[in-house]
A and B are shown apart, each in its own frame.
Chain A
Amino acid sequence: MDYFLQQFVNGLTLGGVYALVALGYTMVYGIIQLINFAHGEIFAAGGYMGVILLSYLASHGLMETHPWLGLGIALVLSMGYCAILAIAVERIAYRPLRGSSRLAVLLSALGMSIFLQNGLMLTQGVYDKAYPTGFTQGGIDFGNVHISLMQILILTLTTSLLIGLNLLVFKTRIGKAMRATAQDKVMSALVGINSNRVIATTFAIGAALAAAAGIMVGLYYGSVRYDMGFVPGIKAFAAAVLGGIGNMTGAMIGGLIIGMVEILAAAYIPYGGEYKDVFAFIILILVLYFMPTGIMGENVDDTRV
């Protein structure tokens, strides 16, 4: 039982990270029906910004005296940076193509992904960059089940960001505008909603969440690398599709399922560690086979962003 609970916590942590990244895919899809393949690279850029900021703060001694303040600063700045980066990506790669065929935008997204990844490689080098320590040890024990400080941090941060996002989407003006644009771009524009601004905001919010996930991953695993965005990007995309692309709750559930399947497959199935990605995608295929619109459905207009 302890073993299962321990693996459950592992799965929850990994799933939380996927969920944060998946939200960006699903929000952008919900609003302009675009699979933003550059999203994984935004996640990587967030991780890099985090390591740069934390190293800078550590070199000035802040991480020794006020580690949580330092982390907060790094988190906020890196989320802001990625938001701006995503707005720029949207301006350069997607807005000029709005109205052209979906294939053109998709190719533009793939191109952007490759461009950003190579940009990271050329500016930051091919070697791993190590995160300064400070948060990696410690935690709570429940009997034999150990929840590390980083796992607590990831789960708390993920939960609070998700709550914040829900409040934003359902309780604020911009949230209402986002939902309206998702439902009908033309009509909402006619009633005076600036759809370009709403779309840019959606990109920015998704990117900020991905940046938070990037820092969490960097801290949790201790390092970042230029190509770190690719695999989590694919997994998070799968999570978004699994949950019902365009559906926020679905993206969170999808993320948790993918993370959990990965860990439990590695924990219980012989050779599971080797084929854990396969199991995650088998689940995806099965769900889509029986529920073509994903677990939460695709076209629930009320909850769709």
Chain B
Amino acid sequence: MVTAVLALSLAFASMGMAKTLKIGSMSPLTGSYAADGNDIANGARAAISVIEKQGGIPGYDKIELLAQDTACDPKQAVASANKLINEGVVGVIGAYCSSSTIPASEVLAEEDIPMITPASTNEKVTERGLPYMFRMCGRDDDQSVVAVAFMKDYLKAKTVFIVDDKTTYSQGLADNVEKLAPDSGLKVLGHDHVNQGDKDFSAVLTKIKDLNPDVLYMSLQNSSSGALMLIQAKRIGVDAAIVAQDAVYHPQLMEIAKDAAEGAYLTFGFIDTEKPAYKTFLEAYSKYGKPGAYSAYAYDAAMTLLSAIKAADSTDPAKVKAEIMKMDTAGASKNIKFMENGDSGSNYVIQVVKDGKFVNFWDPTTKKLF
């Protein structure tokens, strides 16, 4: 009886001592970008499960992820950032859309809360000089260089037609490609915009078929819009090679577009699926399904934040930042080594859809096929 009471009171005592480490994630969990947004939250959850399996973080019993829905809306992103500040998070993974990440990061910066974006590729994200802003993925300016190099060196294209859907991301990439094209001897036959959430692309695709460019640069911030455009392009009979970018990457692309996705190219950060860090990630992620475009980046971002807190043995932002800057480790997506401005460097390659799978295709540094 006495031991039972003792055990019970000990249990209560330890429950009273229980400390939870809270980290936040911000991404669109509903709306057009819900697929990518859920991938990001799940990537962070996978990282937490790996860290907890490795013994967690000393001083804390539990690591909790507060996943916020930004709906890719700047206003909602700022509200989410404020909410996370009130909840007392020590770091944030997010917020997917560059147009959300930028305003949200300014709110977080006032409280010196580190933010690591797994998916915002716009240059401005790290170019504003915020001390606690980090980026795990690559940058648009690097991505469009690779896309244009591929069109010129591999596809030997002379003409290109560009379509974007007016987001900071997609239009930024499309504008970069348009700017770089003339220097590579590519003639831009046209640059059209469509609306986010459009389903019918028959008008613009008929125009493209009529102009008959060598390449269609499909700059859409969404695998489901990408799938719709691929289906309709095939049906209308567009012969151009289609080059897209990393936001189109998602297993959902092939589920919807099926055969129509075959042969589509996209720029994507190089991932070595054979390395141990990637395999650990894949195993931890498996309960959420197949990884999407930003799952591995989100996993690495959360891993970086949590390992830095562990190494610093503190949640003090300055100390955490010092640990993050010291890191030089193999992550699931890439080698994690941050530069002074918070970027971690781009490693874009060309992937192609082959037999319903994304496979590495062309390496821009060697200009050779994989």
Give A residues with C-beta under 8 Å from B.
Answer: 3, 6-7, 10-11, 13-14, 121, 126-128, 130, 133, 136-137, 139, 146, 148, 150, 217, 221-223, 225, 227-228, 231, 262-267, 271-274, 276-277
Contacts and interface: CB of A to CB of B under 8 A. Distances in A.
B335 interface: no
Nearest to A264: B203
Given A7-B203, A126-B29, A128-B252, A222 B228 contact: yes
B258 interface: yes
A274 B193 contact: yes
A227 B31 contact: yes
Contact of A133 (B206, B224, B258): B258
Contacts of A150: 235
B224 A274 contact: no
B202 A13 contact: yes
B257 A222 contact: yes
Given A7-B206, A127-B35, A267-B207, A273 B194 contact: yes
Contacts of A231: 197
Interface residues of B, number: 38
Contacts of B273: none
Contact of B166 (A127, A266, A274, A276): A274
Contacts of A139: 235
A264 B259 CA distance: 29
The B interface, classified by DSSP as helix, strand, loop or mixed, is: helix
Interface in B15-74: 29-31, 34-35, 38
B35 A10 contact: no
Given A14-B200, A273-B194, A137 B235 contact: yes
A146 B202 CA distance: 12
A265 B231 CA distance: 22
B191 to A, nearest CB: 9
A130 B35 CA distance: 14
Interface in B246-298: 252, 255-260
B237 interface: yes
Contacts of A276: 195, 203
A44 to B, nearest CB: 12
B124 interface: no
B70 to A, nearest CB: 14
A126 B255 CA distance: 15
Contacts of B35: 126-128
Contact of A121 (B30, B204, B207, B210): B30
A139 B234 CA distance: 13
B160 interface: no
B30 A128 contact: no
B236 interface: yes
B256 to A, nearest CB: 4
A228 B29 CA distance: 17
Nearest to B35: A127
B83 interface: no
Interface in B190-237: 192-195, 197, 199-200, 202-204, 206-207, 209-210, 224, 227-228, 231-232, 234-237
Nearest to A217: B199
Contacts of B260: 136, 222
A273 B220 CA distance: 14
A274 B257 contact: no
Of B29, B192, B195, B199, most A-chain CB atoms within 10 Å: B199
B258 A223 contact: no
B227 A128 contact: yes
A263 B194 CA distance: 12
B38 A126 contact: yes
Contact of A130 (B193, B206, B210, B256): B256
Contacts of A6: 206, 209-210
B237 A146 contact: yes
Contacts of B227: 128, 222-223
A128 B257 CA distance: 11
A172 to B, nearest CB: 35
B288 to A, nearest CB: 12
Contacts of A13: 202
A263 B202 contact: yes
A140 to B, nearest CB: 13
Given A227-B31, A274-B195, A127 B207 contact: no
A223 B228 CA distance: 8
A222 B201 CA distance: 13
Given A227-B31, A274-B195, A127 B252 contact: yes
Contacts of B204: 266-267, 273
Contact of A228 (B199, B202, B258): B199
Nearest to B230: A222
A272 B29 CA distance: 31
A268 to B, nearest CB: 9
B203 A146 contact: no
Closest 10 A/B residue pairs (Cβ): A266-B203, A126-B34, A10-B202, A274-B193, A130-B256, A128-B224, A263-B203, A222-B231, A223-B256, A267-B203
Nearest to B197: A231
B63 to A, nearest CB: 26
Given A7-B203, A222-B231, A126 B30 contact: yes
Given A222-B231, A223-B224, A228-B199, A273 B258 contact: no
Contacts of B199: 217, 221, 228
